[in-house]
Structure 1
């Protein structure tokens, strides 16, 4: 399939035009009834669902995504749009009980204006839609800064959504060459029409976005890097835990913020678990989706694959054992399992962002919790145990925004708050909690007739 989208990188004048178009569309869009905005969001979902073949092709060519991953992206994006269609009805005024002096108060959520969404390449359809849908549901207009790694895919998503009948200027997209991406982002953050910023990407870039936004006192949602741990207790269903570990570590070649970076296993069942994990991994294979179909695709580029291979070599040099996989051919890297990972290895600390399941053996749940929290990141985690009360007690002590009991770390529900702690960012996408991120909460007080305020 040949893409009909030819992307011309945007300069600052094009970025200004996008922000100005969003600002011009704001008053009409924000004043529309809740049902009208909800209907547009549902129409956007239908348009996206009808464009699967194009998006699968674009994602394969730009970021090496396997069809299974892109289909997963589209399915989640549809759920985000349908969930966002419920939000406009939650923005009605709240009338508070009268004050002691008889004054009446209204709490009103109002859209903020233009929202800048900055989406990453690794889940291109989901992240583009997430950056757009909730702000629009709240009555805002949006400028999406597409990733320099997948400009065609991100522009296609916005063009598809606009093609559903969305009013002109409500959703806009800006792309840039790699060396111009940072200046364009900074320019858009500084634009006077932009009132909120949401960013999904690395912690390194997220810090820069936060600093720039702070200069202009603009609020951010930051969904950043992760180092998710999956803890396997001695009473776990090992087959279910192995399925979750392979899914969490290898889906999209481990290039997911929620990817299972560390598998922390109690020593009593470690040998059995590792044997099953290696056997399960043996049935997986990565390949370039432009040439052949396989469960896994490619890394974003050859340099990324080599970086992960270097982390594995460093771990081996310091005592870890590579049990399977790790072979690199260009940007294709076969899924790897490494055992006996410890804190003197770079892969213990760094986000690998690659298809590696790192096994850390521990003596008890206290050591498991200590190691799980021994990271600067805090996005997702998982615990496998047949004793849910025990798992819930452990979950309370994990320093992550999300914790799954007997489930994969790579899981999202658009109705639930999604975000991290520590260096994984702040703010939340998802559910009605996202209303706070993309609206202004105003207090309107009506004082009784005859009230006097004098010195």
Structure 2
């Protein structure tokens, strides 16, 4: 595929190069091939993007709900028509396998379709008053311009879950995609919506280095909401900056997700779920299973079946349809994962299945007899390493699951729903999935975590409320008596 068409970015209503004197190569993580080189954006580009998005947003917000909804439906249809092109893009730019890329494109389509209903929720509400003769009117309005900063692991769907709702609510959008995935996380989405009919300039993309424009896209006075998906460390800085300028934030950050298998679980099904939830996209998912917490009575059977199942996964070129484990995003991520493996070994974890390394590809590792106090069990792995922790009771499983600074998602496998719900209610996470793995997303459901896993929720009414504001207008229909007058 020729990626030269993506050498520019939409800023200020036109597609052009950035104004910085710095360049960045966008590389295929499997082959190392340069897909395209970008001349990066600078502070002047950031300002132009925001000013243009705000100006065009006023025009966009004045259009009817029917118009907004129709454009979103058109965008969903266009993406469905371009599914093979989009899958190839995700394979080349992110190292996605065919399975993962297909899931991501379908998720993005579903997110757009869900958002297509939001324009009809921008309605007026009339409420009674305690004051005689007064009528209260509540108007829901767009916030203006939303800044979207997203990660490289699921760039299309993670960007779309903010961009589509923001547009649907009548906002403009300025996107700062991850430097590894500027096309699938930014420019491709902007072009999709332009082709669907949004006015030029409503969506701008800033492809730039964090050191040059990272703080500026958050601190700029125009955006009122900052929507960020990424690491907890970067999320803390964005939250602090946004707080200084009294901006609303939606932060979806890291995870150290527990997969609890109780003694009465269906082991075969739990192993299949564990394999999917751990190794999809090489484990580079905030929702991926980090720690498998397994009742000791079934522990030997579970780890043997897990090893057998994982050993069947094809590793290698993500462009081959049957590949399940492709490359990590870059050398930095590969080296970080290898460092974690060494930490695990040094801490006393047993290497039950040892993988190998070819370029950015790491085949699966399984570490057993892991203690939750080990550093590897306390960190977000973001790679193809399964950690298995034996426990002696349901109470111990819950305690270990909660013994982390993160609180994104979790899973519980058990034969009894009442038991599962009891455990789920004790877990300090934003999401829990019973008899399923941790990688779940539904466009209408509240997606988000507790503790160091973030602030706020994506999806449905929760993200809609984040990207809108309300105005109270009261009308006094009859003369009112004021107590300072006789």
> Shorter-chain TM-score category?
over 0.9
Q: Following superposition of structure 1 onto structure 2, how do residues 207-226 of structure 1 map, counting pairs within 5 Å?
A: 207-226=236-255
CA shift, 1:140, in A, is: 0.8
Q: Is 1:42–1:82's contact at 8 Å kept on the other side of the alignment? A: yes
User: Structure 2-normalised TM-score?
Assistant: 0.90
CA shift, 1:372, in A, is: 0.4
Q: Distance in 2 between matches of 1:255 and 1:452?
A: 64
CA shift, 1:286, in A, is: 2.4
User: Structure 1-normalised TM-score?
Assistant: 0.96
CA shift, 1:454, in A, is: 5.3
* Aligned pair partner of 1:108 in 123, 129, 139: 139
Q: 1:137 to 1:204 in 2, by over 3 A?
A: same
Are 1:29 and 2:60 counterparts?
A: yes
Q: Distance in 2 between matches of 1:237 and 1:45?
A: 38
Which residue of 2 is the match for residue 2 of structure 1? 2
Are 1:379 and 2:408 counterparts?
A: yes
Q: Following superposition of structure 1 onto structure 2, how do residues 422-437 of structure 1 map, counting pairs within 5 Å?
A: 422-437=451-466
Q: 1:290 to 1:435 in 2, by over 3 A?
A: closer
Are 1:453 and 2:453 counterparts?
A: no
Which residue of 1 is the match for residue 257 of structure 2? 228
Q: Is 1:264–1:360's contact at 8 Å kept on the other side of the alignment? A: yes
Shift >6 Å, 4+ stretches: none
Q: Distance in 2 between matches of 1:226 and 1:96?
A: 42
* Aligned pair partner of 2:397 in 345, 361, 368: 368
CA shift, 1:432, in A, is: 1.2
Which residue of 1 is the match for residue 349 of structure 2? 320
* Aligned pair partner of 2:287 in 233, 237, 258: 258
Could you say what secondary structure the match of 1:396 adopts? helix
Q: Distance in 2 between matches of 1:5 and 1:204?
A: 30
Are 1:151 and 2:150 counterparts?
A: no
* Aligned pair partner of 2:435 in 402, 406, 417: 406
Worse overlay, 269-278 or 185-194? 185-194
Are 1:355 and 2:384 counterparts?
A: yes
Q: Following superposition of structure 1 onto structure 2, how do residues 11-30 of structure 1 map, counting pairs within 5 Å?
A: 11-30=42-61
**1:160-215 Cα shifts (integer Å, max 9, x gaps):** 22122222222221111xxx224413212222221111000000100111111111
Are 1:202 and 2:231 counterparts?
A: yes
Which residue of 2 is the match for residue 343 of structure 1? 372
- Unmatched runs of 5 consecutive residues or more in structure 1: none
Q: Is 1:340–1:360's contact at 8 Å kept on the other side of the alignment? A: yes
* Aligned pair partner of 1:280 in 309, 314, 332: 309
CA shift, 1:146, in A, is: 1.2
CA shift, 1:69, in A, is: 1.3
**1:47-95 Cα shifts (integer Å, max 9, x gaps):** 2222233333332333222222111111000000000111111221221
Q: Distance in 2 between matches of 1:425 and 1:263?
A: 22
Q: Is 1:118–1:131's contact at 8 Å kept on the other side of the alignment? A: no
Could you say what secondary structure the match of 1:49 adopts? helix
Q: Distance in 2 between matches of 1:255 and 1:79?
A: 22
Q: Is 2:354–2:365's contact at 8 Å kept on the other side of the alignment? A: yes
**How many residue pairs get matched?**
452
Q: Is 2:372–2:389's contact at 8 Å kept on the other side of the alignment? A: no
Q: Following superposition of structure 1 onto structure 2, how do residues 39-188 of structure 1 map, counting pairs within 5 Å?
A: 39-153=70-184, 154-176=186-208, 180-188=209-217
Q: Distance in 2 between matches of 1:311 and 1:164?
A: 45
Q: Give the root-mean-square deviation of aligned CA atoms.
A: 1.6
- Unmatched runs of 5 consecutive residues or more in structure 2: 8-37
